[in-house]
A and B are shown apart, each in its own frame.
Chain A
Amino acid sequence: MCLVCQLTDVIQATTIKTDRCSLLQANAIELSYLNTKVIADLSIEITPAATNIIIGANGCGKSSLLKTLARVLAPDCGSVTLDGKDIHHSNTRQVAKKLGLLPQGPITPEGLTVRELVSQGRFPHQSLLRQWTREDEKAVAQAMEIADIVQFAQRQVDDLSGGQRQRCWIAMVLAQQTELILLDEPTTFLDLKVQVDLMNLLAKLVHDSGRTLLIVLHDLNLAAAYADKLIMMKNGQIVHHASVEQVFSSANLKQVFDLDVDILTDPRSGRPVCVPRYFSTKQRLETSAIAV
Chain B
Amino acid sequence: MNSKLEQLKQPEKLSYSLAVIASVAICSLLFMLHLSLGAKPLSYAVLYQSLSSFDNTNFNHMIIHNIRLPRALVAMAVGASLSVAGAIMQGVTRNPLASPSVLGLLAGASFAVVIGLGLFDITSPLYTPWIAALGAATAAILVLAIATAAPGGATTLNLTLSGAAISALLAALISVMQLANEDDFDDLREWLTGSLSGSSLQSFYYIAPIVLLALTVAVLLSRKITVLGMGDEIAKGLGVKTFGLKVQLLLIVIVLTACSVALAGPVGFVGLVIPHVIRFFVGADYRWVIPFCAIIGAAFLLSVDIVARTVISPQEISTGIITAIIGAPLFVYLVKMKLR
Contact = CB atoms under 8 A, between A and B. Distances in A.
B281 to A, nearest CB: 10
Nearest to A134: B5
Q: Which among A70, A96, A109, A144 has the highest number of chain B CB atoms within 10 Å?
A: A109
B233 A123 contact: no
Interface stretch (A49-57, A135-143, A231-239): A135-143
Contacts of A150: 4, 7-8
A124 B239 contact: yes
B238 to A, nearest CB: 4
Interface stretch (A36-44, A98-106, A251-259, A283-291): A98-106
Q: Interface size for chain B: under 10, 10 to 19, 20 to 34, or 35 or more residues?
A: 20 to 34
Interface in B143-174: none
A120 B226 contact: yes
Interface string B93-136: 01000000000000000000000000000000000000000000
A96 B241 CA distance: 12
Contacts of A115: 8, 10
B189 interface: no
Given A106-B231, A108-B230, A144 B8 contact: yes
Given A137-B5, A137-B9, A150-B4, A101 B230 contact: no
Interface in B187-218: none
Contacts of B7: 150, 153
B8 A140 contact: yes
A176 B238 CA distance: 8
Interface in A136-167: 137-138, 140-141, 144-145, 150, 153, 156
A120 B284 contact: no
A92 B94 contact: no
B279 interface: yes
B51 interface: no
Contacts of B10: 115
A229 interface: no
Nearest to B241: A92
A93 interface: yes
A109 B230 contact: yes
Given A96-B238, A107-B230, A116-B285, A128 B220 contact: yes
Contact of B237 (A72, A105, A112): A72
A123 B223 contact: yes
A107 B94 contact: yes
Nearest to A116: B285
A120 B225 CA distance: 11
A105 B279 CA distance: 23
B223 A126 contact: yes
Nearest to A112: B284
Nearest to A157: B284
A192 to B, nearest CB: 26
Interface string A216-255: 0000000000000000000000000000000000000000
Contact of A101 (B5, B223, B233, B279): B233
| Most chain B Cβ neighbours within 10 Å, of A95, A101, A107 | A107
A113 interface: yes
B229 interface: yes
Nearest to B280: A111
Interface of A: 67, 70-72, 92-97, 99-103, 105-113, 115-117, 120-121, 123-124, 126, 128, 137-138, 140-141, 144-145, 150, 153, 156, 176, 182
15 contacts: A70-B236, A72-B233, A94-B239, A96-B238, A103-B234, A103-B237, A105-B231, A107-B229, A109-B226, A111-B280, A115-B8, A115-B10, A123-B227, A153-B7, A156-B283
Interface of B: 4-5, 7-10, 94, 220, 223, 226-227, 229-234, 236-241, 279-280, 283-285
Given A71-B236, A101-B233, 14 more contacts: A72-B233, A72-B237, A92-B240, A101-B236, A109-B226, A110-B284, A111-B279, A115-B10, A117-B230, A123-B223, A123-B227, A123-B238, A124-B238, A141-B4
